[in-house]
């Protein structure tokens, strides 16, 4: 399925060049570790050569053939969740070079990822081609949740051609792209595509996996306090002190 390329009623333009120097990509934490371990110049080469603020044409083609993605979110306290999203090739829609969207269907009713997005719009998406290119693509940005009807009205045609019996999106996650960059192939295993029947939209517990890990009925350690992040205690002494000074 080809990536969706609409004529948007309100086209977005790239920001005007600024005379002020651009901020280095990445977090304060990674910069501190780069300084501590002497990798700042190597990191800067990666930032300069690979990190972009939009989806380049080859990235758009890559996204258009992906059948799954790993989606990372966190709540207002920084507590994280990582979830798998999957579908037919093209289920992640590139709306323009600065925007992509993916559908959300009826699930277990927990809304872990969507709940995090309501508190904290930061999102990280990792797509990996395990079969052909053996390469990955990171997309980081700001997400918002849009009702299906509102999404179809705002982006006519973007949701079409993907509805599957029992699988109609209830809402969409629209992501404003802030960073897009490669994930190297060094440790990506090669996998083989197989034909498999998928029970799209099923509510049969057995077909969904049931209690695969035997969690039902086991006790919770409810007395254990939950630690709130961020924390610097897991870093080496130099990086930890650097962060605390900032």
Residue length of the chain? 246
- What per-residue confidence (pLDDT) applies to 18? 52
**Which of 7-11, 14-18, 206-210, 219-223 holds the top average pLDDT?**
219-223
Q: Is the pLDDT confidence value at 160 over 90?
A: no
Q: Is the pLDDT confidence value at 3 over 80?
A: no
Q: Over the stretch 63-119, which tens digit does the pLDDT of each residue have?
A: 999 999 999 999 999 999 999 999 889 899 999 999 999 999 888 889 999 999 999
CB 87 within 8 A of CB 159: no
Of residues 172 and 7, which shows the higher confidence score? Answer: 172
Query: Mean of the pLDDT values across residues 112-140?
Result: 96
Of residues 175 and 20, which shows the higher confidence score? Answer: 175
- What per-residue confidence (pLDDT) applies to 230? 54
- Range of weakest confidence among 53-67, 92-106, 138-152, 232-246: 232-246
Q: What is the DSSP string of 52-115?
A: BSS--HHHHHHHHT-SEEEEEEE-TT--EEEEEEE-STT-SEEEETTEEEEEE---SS--HHHH
Residue 225: partners with Cβ closer than 8 Å, 6 or more residues away: none
Mark residue 21 as left, alpha or beta (left: phi above 0; alpha: psi -120 to 50; beta: remaining): beta
Q: Over the stretch 34-53, which tens digit does the pLDDT of each residue have?
A: 999 999 999 999 999 999 99
Of residues 18 and 199, which shows the higher confidence score? Answer: 199
In the chain, the percentage of residues whose pLDDT exceeds 70 is 74
**Nearest to 113, CA basis, from 158, 144, 89:** 144
Quote the CA–CA distance of 58 and 129 in Å, as a whole number: 13
- What per-residue confidence (pLDDT) applies to 107? 83
Residue 30: partners with Cβ closer than 8 Å, 6 or more residues away: 43
CB 100 within 8 A of CB 63: yes
Longest dimension (CA), the chain: 61
Quote the CA–CA distance of 143 and 22 in Å, as a whole number: 23
- What per-residue confidence (pLDDT) applies to 159? 79
């Amino acid at each position: 399925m080809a990536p969706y390329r609409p004529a948007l009623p309100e086209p977005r333009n790239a920001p005007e060049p600024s005379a002020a120097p651009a901020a280095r990509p990445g977090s304060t934490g990674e910069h501190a570790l780069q300084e501590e371990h002497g990798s700042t110049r190597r990191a800067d080469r990666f930032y300069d050569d690979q990190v972009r603020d939009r989806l380049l044409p080859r990235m758009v083609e890559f996204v258009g053939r992906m059948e799954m993605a790993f989606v990372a979110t966190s709540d207002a306290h920084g507590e994280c969740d990582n979830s798998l999203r999957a579908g037919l090739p093209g289920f992640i829609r590139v709306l323009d070079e600065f925007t992509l969207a993916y559908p959300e269907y009826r699930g277990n009713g927990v809304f872990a990822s969507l709940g995090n997005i309501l508190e904290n719009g930061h999102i990280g998406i990792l797509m990996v081609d395990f079969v052909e290119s053996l390469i990955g693509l990171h997309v980081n940005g700001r997400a918002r949740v849009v009702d299906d009807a509102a999404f179809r009205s705002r982006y006519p045609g973007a949701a079409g051609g993907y509805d599957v019996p029992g699988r109609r999106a209830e809402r969409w996650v629209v992501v404003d792209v802030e960073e897009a960059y490669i994930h190297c192939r060094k440790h990506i295993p090669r996998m083989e595509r197989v034909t498999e029947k998928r029970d799209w939209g099923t509510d049969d517990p057995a077909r969904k996996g049931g209690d695969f890990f035997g969690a039902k009925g086991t006790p919770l350690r409810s007395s254990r306090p939950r630690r709130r992040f961020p924390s610097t205690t897991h870093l080496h002494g130099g990086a930890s002190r650097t962060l605390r000074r900032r």
